[in-house]
Amino acid sequence: MIYLSQIVNGIGLGMLYFLLAVGLSIIFGLLHFVNFAHGAFYLLGAYLCYALLQHGIDFWWAITLAGLIVAAFAALVEAGLLRRIYRLDHMYHIVATIGLALMIQEFVIIVWGPVGASVSTPPALVGVVMLGNFIYPEYRIFVVGFTAVLALVLWWLLEGTRLGAIVRAGSESSDSISLLGYDIKRINTAVFALGAGLAALAGGLATPIRGLDPFMGVEALAIAFVVVVIGGMGSFTGALIAGLLVGIVQSLMATIWPEGASLAVYIAMVVVVLVMPRGLLGRA
């Protein structure tokens, strides 16, 4: 029974990982740009959400605003800096975004201090739900439901709208999109902002579960990488399946061998790479 409850926990965690990784994944799909600052956007989202809550702002508004602020910031960074370096080798993308991530991390420490904090669950979601024989916190059910709705909206955005069609076409060839008369620069900025906003949202949603600390960005970046290595870059379904897999493995291991819970995630990744070198969905 305890395992069943951990699997439900894992689904909640996995949906957060999906949210985190899908942003990284669509940014790479369109821009062919590895964003090492993705974890820092998650970190910034978590802290902004915390700060807004501290000022008495309602949880819903706090996560929404945190996502929007980070998206706006990311749009500025993309238009002001990253756009200039797309033509360079991947190494420079990585170095520049490591630099950006360091600056965001240090900024967070300067503003909020090096010690972490815990965030209380929003009052409306404090209760517990009885699922069969075991007690289950309402907030975690909320996370699963909320991220599932978000995932559907995102799927519709990517698969069902004109913007999504442009983004998918742009992933194949950004030149042809420009030739069709679309302003690829604005689309790039929008997609980068969307990806960063999703990471920030994941950060905000994660805070009542895992608390806050200035180094959570690095951990998030590594998890996002595991998810896209397993699921494949630029794949929505891949990110979803891999995110859930990682979340469930981590939650199950937390009851079996707590010290090794994080370790198990990386071992799972190695197994997938060995057995299926192209990742679960085989697009690489």
106 near another protein, judged by CB under 8 A: yes
Question: Which is closer to another protein, CB of 127 or CB of 260?
Answer: 260
> Would you give the binding string for another protein spanning residues 60-79, x where CB under 8 A is met?
--------------------
Site for another protein in 84-103 (CB under 8 A): 84-92, 94-96, 98-103
Record the tokens describing residue 225, joined without a space.
Answer: 């990488």
Query: Which of 105, 207, 235, 250 lies at the binding interface for another protein (CB under 8 A)?
Result: 105
15 contact partners, CB below 8 Å, separation of at least 6: 143, 144, 147, 148, 151, 243, 244, 247
Q: Stretches 7-15, 62-70, 181-189, 271-279: which one binds another protein (CB under 8 A)? A: 271-279
249 contact partners, CB below 8 Å, separation of at least 6: 10, 264, 265, 268
Closest separation in Å from C-beta 167 to another protein: 19
Rg (CA), the chain: 19
- Tell me the sheet residues that pair with 105: none
Which is nearest to 146 in space by CA: 8, 16, 10, 243?
16
271 near another protein, judged by CB under 8 A: no
- Taking the C-alpha atoms of residue 249 and residue 107, their distance in angstroms, rounded to an integer, is 33
> Would you give the binding string for another protein spanning residues 30-59, x where CB under 8 A is met?
--x-x-------------------------
- Taking the C-alpha atoms of residue 179 and residue 198, their distance in angstroms, rounded to an integer, is 29
User: In the complex, which residues of this chain contact another protein (CB under 8 A)?
Assistant: 28, 32, 34, 81, 84-92, 94-96, 98-103, 105-107, 109-110, 218, 221-222, 225-226, 228-229, 233, 259-260, 262-263, 266-267, 269-270, 273-274, 277, 284
